[in-house]
Structure 1
Amino acid sequence: MQDIERLVGALADIKRLYAKEPTELFLAEYISPVVAATPQAAFYAEAESLPIRAAEGRICSEFVMCYPPGIPILSPGEVITKEIVDYILYAKVKGCSMQGPEDPEIEYLNVLKGGRL
């Protein structure tokens, strides 16, 4: 019985020492994507790289995922909105590991060249 009590006490100490404050947690709302092209067409279309803020209103040609949880924020063929850009920048500040884009620092996004297929 003493072993179990010591284990419970140790786990409580670990939780107290390493638990994140609620203000540090990642807040997120679902952002409905605006799909302008099929993922395949956008992925294989001619693309150009733009600064992330300049990419607003353009069609994305690459995946952008935040890990964890690994769910795409952007997929090829989706319109890059201000809300999505704000979310990406917020996720970076919160320490989310961005995966998928050609630019590992995600300062630039690949978009369809000329804005069309």
Structure 2
Amino acid sequence: MGFLIKTAFWFSLVLLLLPISPEGTDPEATVDPLEAVFAARAAISDVSSMCDRQPDVCETGRAAVQTIGVRARESARIAYELLDDQFGQSDPALTTGTVATEPADTGATAD
């Protein structure tokens, strides 16, 4: 989840830096990239101090992240079991870690 938020943030900064001016937009309404960086820094600072102002929000957020993590692990386990049932190998000789052995030929013949 954090990866997606960080990716969206950096992607939006890249879009602000691109010199694209769509038709029909007011040139005075555009945002300077430097102003956008300062605004993003202020927003991050405000969000990071939210736990000091409202600790119950942070506790709820931690509980939500923990619940999402548990559910994600359980969903991954279920998906793994379903895929293993569908595509698992039935021949034990083909299973990873096992080697089919044949008797060694010593060259001696029994008469």
Superposed pair shares fold, TM > 0.5: no
Structure with greater helix share of residues: 2
Choose 1 or 2 for highest CA Rg. Answer: 2
TM range (shorter): under 0.3
Give the TM-score normalised by the residue count of structure 1: 0.24
Structure with greater strand share of residues: 1
